[in-house]
Structures are given as structure tokens and as C-alpha cells.
């Protein structure tokens, strides 16, 4: 007797119809797919902004200075962001690849305007403020050419621009690969864009060493700026924008008072601010009619008194390629291909005891229990299929890394795929789907996990294969000892060597299971198959859900609140699709009803995937912390610097932090020895962190470096994998 299911499509349509109005709002907050088209020579359009590299000289001279600009032409109603973007924006970035010998300043930001955007919905007023540009803007960058350029030659500047563009209803990340070719001659020749670049260069705030003080008084920030006597103050409208977010309540007005060239202002502090940053820096804008001029000021201004003309932060010329340690990183087992392959194999074996692979180990042990008493050849065949699943997915990862390395031209690290929110969402999908299968809600084919059901009547080879694939997916957040140097070596080599190293890693991961297959008597310690297996199978769904919870924590660091909410909504729809499949699509149903349920489940699943894809583009604002500069600043202060290269998705990193690095003993050790503790968070893409890891022969995290205060000395590497307080104490003693 079969239940009637004719009403099932009706409530499904009703459920989907509830989604559509909500998705309309989500659509307005998500990033549509990029569409690129050139609108001028060298220009690239991405969505609502046309980006282009321009220069004030079409012909440069050996040893001469010139200015290039990142030019944005912005569609009406849209805007891009300043260095302080506000609560939810992202400042524009330009990763410029300079030829050898060239030096350049940072990307400079002209004086911006403040935007107040109304995101209110009925009954809930929502306003956000930010700083940025509309219509058009040029971000200058001053470059100095080397003296040995040959007149008559040409030079090419390549760069990747990243920005966020917003209008009152949506925000979209933008990206463009840009290039600019210039001639080299005996005399410089101005370009057609020279006047426009000069106009925006004059809008870059000028650094001033005016006396500037500020204090936090209750919920207000009170500040005083002493203007020079010759400064013309008549008819001026004043504004002040801090250089960092979350200092002022950016929706609040700044109240100014001027008396005898002493300019005072008061503003409501940000709700999260507990103490003023030291120093407090910002730009004071003096506007007269349509003309506005920006002046950069800081409460720590005395260091610039001696040479006001040149000591302008952001205008220092730096080399395009950072210096790399002359001492190559030590490779295990004497280096060489054989040593590296052996290290990769051992690293793969050690992965089996890392916490990230635990859920799959439990499932595989259950698989062996189910196969106990079977033909030895069949047990061995399962182990081979399991190893094949591991190897194929390691090969897939290798191909992905090769594609990313060749496409991006930069460094690619182990676990880099976890920096993409869509990959995290896919992992959550897998964990939830496997958990629901273990709970008995649905069986995927011959059982994805190779446990449960009548194992005596199923070969379970598909389950063994997918268990191997799952082991690889869960292993990527972990770095075992000996793995990091082997992978770092592999990523710098040719494709065949990369494949060899990752194959050795996969064989190491699968090796312990071959031992069980070769010596079945080792399984005698495990209880014989029985009813307990079903209970244990269902219980193992909870570690899968625990992994999903951990991955949601990773996702919270990568996406905005809206992006996270919609990603979880996508997971909810995945669970709904699986429930429909298990409840109405089983073989106990009539074929017609079963097919309808499966189509409905497919539609809900596709809807879930679409929501997840759109949500993954709603990224959280980047931190914009330059790790090299941060380390250099602390060393200039006479401090040693301990750098923890970590990521939210790195399980080994979190174990080290909780058991060693962030313990009271180690933190006290840092304070007693004048060591500044710095976290290099690689949860999201960070080109500088990737470069530093590559310089030390590492392709992933965790990794630990101790920089001496003496800048003439090299950083001390504590290596990777599990570290102890003794390891840190030993490194500090070397200082």
C-alpha cells in the first residue's frame, strides 16, 4: 500500500515561491558574474567600472621619475572606495609587477567624499556611511626608473587591480588585469593623460606636521589642530575623515570650532571604540566653494619635523621585488627528489593521525569491520579502490594548483582552495549530506560511506572510492610534519615532479589501510559485526556535523553577515532536497511518485546551489594589513617579532594556538623577552603572506618565524606542524 503523493508538488511550489521574494533582496546585495570588455586601448570594464593604467609620460628617461595612475571611469550612481572605506567597503588595491631595478610608491588616494547609503526596509531603518569616489578617479603612483635603461627600448608595467563598486542597492567586487607599455628615450615626453593625472595628484592629501591632539571623553572624541598663522580660514567648510575605520561614528556630523587659527572638533565615537589609536591619523579637508584641499595630519607628528618636505608617509620608493633570504630553506632527508618523495610519503602517513582526517578514519574502520571474514582478496581490493580515490583527488588538486599557478603567475599554497568561500560551502554540503546518510535519511547509491545496510550483499567499492576522496578533502586544512617542505618544493617544480610528490603524499595517506588489508588478523581487536554497527554508524554522523560547524566558523571570516546567512540558507535547502529524496523518492514508492519526488529534489538542490554560488561572492571587507610593513615597524621600535602564519581553516594552527602559542606561559615569555606577537591570517587571500611563505620554502600554514630586532639578521624559522613551548623558548634563546 503506497501513500498518495499527488499534493507533494503543490507544497514544493509554495515553498519555492516563498524563496523568490527573499532572493530578490539577496540578488541586489550579491556580486553578479564579471563581464569584461575593452572600451579604450588598455582599458578593461568589469561590471560598472572601466579600469585603465595611464602615465603622465609616454617616453621616460633613465633614472627619471614619472607618475602612473590607476584610472577608474565609474557608471552613474556607483562609487569605489578610499583607503578608509567605512564599515563595509573595501579599498582599491593595485598589485603592480615592476621590471627589475624600478622603485615605486604605494598607491595614492585623492581626497574622497562621504557617502551615506539608505538600505532601509519597511520598519527597519538601515544607513551605512563610507568614503570613496564617483564618476571618475585616478590613483597616482610615483615610479623611479633605474639608471641603466637603454634609450630606444620599451618597458612594460603589468598589474592586477581589485576594487569594490557599490550603488544604493548592491555591491560588486571588481578585478582587472592591466598593462602599460612606455618608451625609453633621452628626454621625457608628456602623455595625453598628463594633465588629468596632475589634477588628481594635486588632490592627494598633503602631509602636514601641524600640532594635532585628541582625547576620548565619554562617547565623544575631542580634537584640536593648530593651523599655521598664514593659513586662510575665511569661508572654509571643514571636514575630517580618519584613515582607519571604526573610530568615528561615520553617520554622525563633526562639529568644528575655529578660534585664532586653532581648529577644534568633536564627534561621536564608534560604538566599538574603547580607546583611541596611537597615533590617530586622518585627513582634514578645507572646502571653499567647489574647491577642496586635503591635509594629512597625525597625533604623532614630531618625527617629521626635521624634514617636512620629504618625510611623507606613502611616498617612500621601494623595490618591486622583496629581498629573499640568501640561505635556501633546509629540505628533509638531504633534499633531492628521493628525499622529498620520502618526506611526502611520511607526511601523508602522519596525516592519518591529524584531527581533520578523524571522521574518515572512523568510517574506514567501520568499513573494515563490515569486511571482516570476507575473502582476503576482496579486502585488498577495497583498500586499492580507497587508495585510488585518494590518488585521483590528489591529482585533481595538483591540476587545480597548476592551473592557478599558470593563470595567476603568482605563488599558490597548500590549502589555498580553502580561501574560496564556494569551496568551503561545498565541503559543508558534503559533511551535511554524509551526516544525513549516516542517520539513515537516505542512501546514496551503494552507500557513499561504505557502512550500514547489508554489506554482505553489496560490494561497496563506490563507498571505498568516495571515502578516499573525502579523506583528501578533509586533509587539506591540515599540514603534517614533513609535508610543508615537500609541498613547498613541489610547487616550485615542473608538473611531472608536482604529480610525483602529491602521488607520494596520497600513497602515504593510504598506506595504513594496506597494512590492515595485508594483515587481516589486526582487525581481531575490533568487535565482530552486529547490531552495534548501526548505532555506531548513526553516531558517526555527529562528527560530520561537527566538521560542518567548524567550516561555518571559517565561512564567517570570509563572508559578510548577509553572505553567511544566505550560505546557511543554501545548506538548509540542501537538507530539504535530501529529505525529499529520502522520504518520497525511495523504492517503496510507485515509479511515478518516485520520479516526481526525485525531480522535485533535483530542483530544490539546484536552487540551493544557485543561492550558494551567489552568496559566496558577498565577501567580508579585507583587513588591509601589510605584514611586511607591520614587521618592519616593530623591528624599528627595537622589538623582536614572532609571526604566527595561521588560517581559520587550518586545524593544526588552531591546535598549536590553544596548546602552545596563546598559553599564559608563552605569552609571558614574549613579554619578558621583548617579543611582539603578530598573527599573519591566511584565511583569505593575501599576496604578501603567500610571498613570505614561498621565500621560506613553504606552501601552506602553519608556519612560524621569529624576527630579531636587529634588521641585519635573518629570521629564525620554527618550522611547521605541531610546536611546543620548548621550541619557542629555544628559538628565543638564539636571539
* pLDDT tens, position by position, 611-645: 988 888 888 776 667 888 899 999 999 999 999 99
Report whether pLDDT(413) > 50. Answer: yes
Whole-angstrom distance, CA of residue 329 vs CA of residue 695: 8
Q: State the chain's mean pLDDT as an integer.
A: 78
pLDDT of residue 451: 37
Q: Which helix (H) or strand (E) segment is 309 a member of?
A: none
Mean pLDDT check: name the lowest of 31-35, 237-241, 702-706.
31-35
Report whether pLDDT(728) > 90. Answer: yes
Burial of residue 197, with CB atoms counted within 10 A of its CB: 0-12 exposed, 13-18 middle, 19 or more buried: buried
Nearest of 204, 193, 174 to residue 92 by alpha carbon: 174
Q: Which helix (H) or strand (E) segment is 150 a member of?
A: none
Whole-angstrom distance, CA of residue 550 vs CA of residue 655: 13
Q: How many CB atoms lie within 10 A of CB 37?
A: 9
Peptide bond preceding 702 in cis form (omega within 30 of 0): yes
The 10s digit of each residue's pLDDT in 388-399 is 888 888 888 788
Who has greater pLDDT, 24 or 434? Answer: 434
Whole-angstrom distance, CA of residue 199 vs CA of residue 110: 10
Whole-angstrom distance, CA of residue 51 vs CA of residue 523: 63
pLDDT of residue 119: 58
Report whether pLDDT(427) > 50. Answer: yes
- Find out whether 103 and 143 touch, Cβ atoms under 8 Å: yes
- Find out whether 250 and 84 touch, Cβ atoms under 8 Å: no
Cell readout for 99 is 621590471
| Cα first-last separation, the chain | 80
Q: What percent of the chain has pLDDT over 90?
A: 28
Whole-angstrom distance, CA of residue 426 vs CA of residue 439: 20
Mean pLDDT check: name the lowest of 92-106, 299-313, 415-429.
299-313
Residue 263 binned pLDDT confidence (cut-offs 50, 70, 90): very high
- What is the pairing mode between strands 36-37 and 127-133? unpaired
Cell readout for 641 is 617579532
Identify the DSSP state of 619. B
The 10s digit of each residue's pLDDT in 346-369 is 888 877 766 666 666 666 666 665
Sheet containing strand 93-97, edge to edge, reads: 93-97, 154-167, 170-184, 57-60, 189-190
Whole-angstrom distance, CA of residue 23 vs CA of residue 64: 55
Greatest mean pLDDT among 149-158, 481-490, 552-561 lies in 149-158
- Find out whether 276 and 221 touch, Cβ atoms under 8 Å: yes
- The mean per-residue pLDDT over the stretch 455-459 comes to 35
Amino acid at each position: 500500500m503506497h501513500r498518495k503523493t499527488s499534493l507533494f508538488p503543490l507544497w514544493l511550489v509554495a515553498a519555492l515561491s516563498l524563496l523568490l521574494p527573499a532572493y530578490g533582496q539577496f540578488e541586489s546585495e550579491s556580486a553578479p558574474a564579471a563581464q569584461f570588455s575593452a572600451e579604450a586601448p588598455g582599458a578593461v570594464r568589469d561590471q560598472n567600472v572601466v579600469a585603465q593604467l595611464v602615465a603622465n609620460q609616454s617616453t621616460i628617461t633613465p633614472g627619471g621619475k614619472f607618475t602612473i595612475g590607476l584610472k577608474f571611469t565609474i557608471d552613474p550612481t556607483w562609487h569605489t572606495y578610499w583607503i578608509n572605506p567605512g564599515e563595509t567597503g573595501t579599498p582599491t588595491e593595485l598589485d603592480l609587477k615592476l621590471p627589475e631595478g624600478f622603485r615605486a610608491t604605494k598607491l595614492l588616494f585623492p581626497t574622497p567624499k562621504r557617502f551615506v547609503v539608505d538600505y532601509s526596509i519597511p520598519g527597519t531603518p538601515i544607513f551605512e556611511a563610507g568614503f570613496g569616489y564617483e564618476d571618475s578617479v585616478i590613483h597616482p603612483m610615483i615610479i623611479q626608473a633605474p639608471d641603466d635603461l637603454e634609450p630606444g627600448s620599451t618597458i612594460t608595467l603589468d598589474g592586477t587591480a581589485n576594487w569594490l563598486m557599490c550603488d544604493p542597492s548592491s555591491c560588486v567586487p571588481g578585478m582587472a588585469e592591466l598593462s602599460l607599455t612606455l618608451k625609453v628615450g633621452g628626454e621625457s615626453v608628456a602623455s595625453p593623460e598628463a594633465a588629468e593625472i596632475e589634477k588628481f595628484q594635486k588632490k592627494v592629501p598633503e602631509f602636514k606636521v601641524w600640532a594635532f591632539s585628541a582625547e576620548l571623553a565619554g562617547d565623544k572624541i575631542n580634537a584640536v589642530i593648530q593651523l599655521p598663522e598664514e593659513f586662510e580660514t575665511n569661508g572654509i567648510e571643514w571636514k575630517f575623515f580618519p584613515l582607519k575605520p571604526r573610530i568615528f561614528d561615520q553617520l554622525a556630523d563633526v562639529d568644528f570650532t575655529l578660534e585664532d587659527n586653532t581648529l577644534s572638533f568633536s564627534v561621536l565615537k564608534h560604538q566599538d571604540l574603547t580607546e583611541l589609536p596611537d597615533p590617530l591619523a586622518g585627513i582634514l579637508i578645507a572646502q571653499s566653494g567647489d574647491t577642496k584641499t586635503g591635509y594629512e595630519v597625525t597625533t604623532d607628528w614630531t618625527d617629521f619635523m626635521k624634514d617636512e618636505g620629504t618625510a611623507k608617509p606613502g611616498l617612500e620608493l621601494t623595490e618591486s621585488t622583496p629581498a629573499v633570504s640568501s640561505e635556501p630553506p633546509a629540505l628533509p632527508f638531504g633534499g633531492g627528489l628521493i628525499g622529498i618523495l620520502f618526506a611526502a610519503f611520511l607526511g601523508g602517513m602522519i596525516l592519518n593521525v591529524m584531527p581533520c582526517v578523524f571522521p574518515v578514519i572512523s568510517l574506514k574502520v567501520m568499513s573494515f569491520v563490515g569486511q571482516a571474514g570476507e575473502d582476503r582478496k576482496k579486502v585488498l581490493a577495497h583498500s586499492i579502490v580507497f587508495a585510488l580515490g585518494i590518488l585521483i583527488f590528489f591529482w585533481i588538486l595538483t591540476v587545480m594548483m597548476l592551473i592557478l599557478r599558470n593563470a595567476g603567475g603568482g605563488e599558490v599554497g597548500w590549502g589555498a582552495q580553502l580561501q574560496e568561500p564556494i569551496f568551503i560551502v561545498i565541503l559543508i554540503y558534503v559533511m551535511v549530506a554524509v551526516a544525513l546518510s549516516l542517520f539513515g535519511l537516505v542512501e546514496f547509491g551503494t552507500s557513499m560511506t561504505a557502512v550500514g545496510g547489508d554489506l554482505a550483499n553489496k560490494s561497496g567499492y563506490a563507498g571505498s572510492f568516495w571515502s578516499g576522496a573525502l579523506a583528501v578533502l578533509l586533509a587539506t586544512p591540515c599540514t603534517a610534519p614533513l609535508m610543508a617542505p615537500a609541498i613547498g618544493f613541489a610547487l616550485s617544480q615542473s608538473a611531472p615532479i608536482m604529480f610525483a610528490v602529491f602521488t607520494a603524499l596520497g600513497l602515504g595517506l593510504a598506506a595504513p589501510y594496506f597494512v590492515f588489508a595485508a594483515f587481516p588478523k589486526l582487525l581481531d581487536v575490533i568487535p565482530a559485526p552486529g547490531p552495534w554497527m548501526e548505532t555506531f554508524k548513526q553516531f558517526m554522523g555527529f562528527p560530520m556535523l561537527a566538521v560542518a560547524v567548524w567550516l561555518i566558523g571559517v565561512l564567517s571570516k570570509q563572508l559578510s553577515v548577509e553572505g553567511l546567512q544566505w550560505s546557511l540558507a543554501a545548506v538548509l535547502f540542501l537538507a530539504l532536497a535530501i529529505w525529499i529524496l529520502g522520504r518520497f523518492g525511495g523504492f517503496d514508492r510507485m515509479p511515478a511518485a518516485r520520479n516526481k519526488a526525485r525531480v522535485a529534489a533535483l530542483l530544490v538542490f539546484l536552487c540551493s546551489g544557485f543561492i550558494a554560488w551567489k552568496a559566496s561572492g558577498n565577501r567580508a571587507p579585507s583587513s588591509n594589513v601589510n605584514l611586511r610593513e607591520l614587521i618592519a615597524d616593530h623591528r624599528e621600535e627595537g622589538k623582536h617579532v614572532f609571526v604566527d602564519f595561521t588560517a581559520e581553516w587550518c586545524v593544526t594552527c588552531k591546535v598549536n594556538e590553544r596548546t602552545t602559542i596563546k598559553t599564559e606561559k608563552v605569552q609571558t615569555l614574549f613579554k619578558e623577552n621583548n617579543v611582539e606577537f603578530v598573527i599573519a591570517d591566511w584565511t583569505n587571500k593575501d599576496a604578501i603572506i603567500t610571498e613570505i611563505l614561498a621565500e621560506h620554502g613553504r606552501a601552506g600554514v602553519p608556519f612560524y618565524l621569529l624576527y630579531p630586532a636587529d634588521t641585519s639578521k635573518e629570521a629564525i624559522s620554527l618550522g611547521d606542524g605541531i610546536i611546543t613551548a620548548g621550541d619557542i623558548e629555544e628559538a628565543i634563546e638564539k636571539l
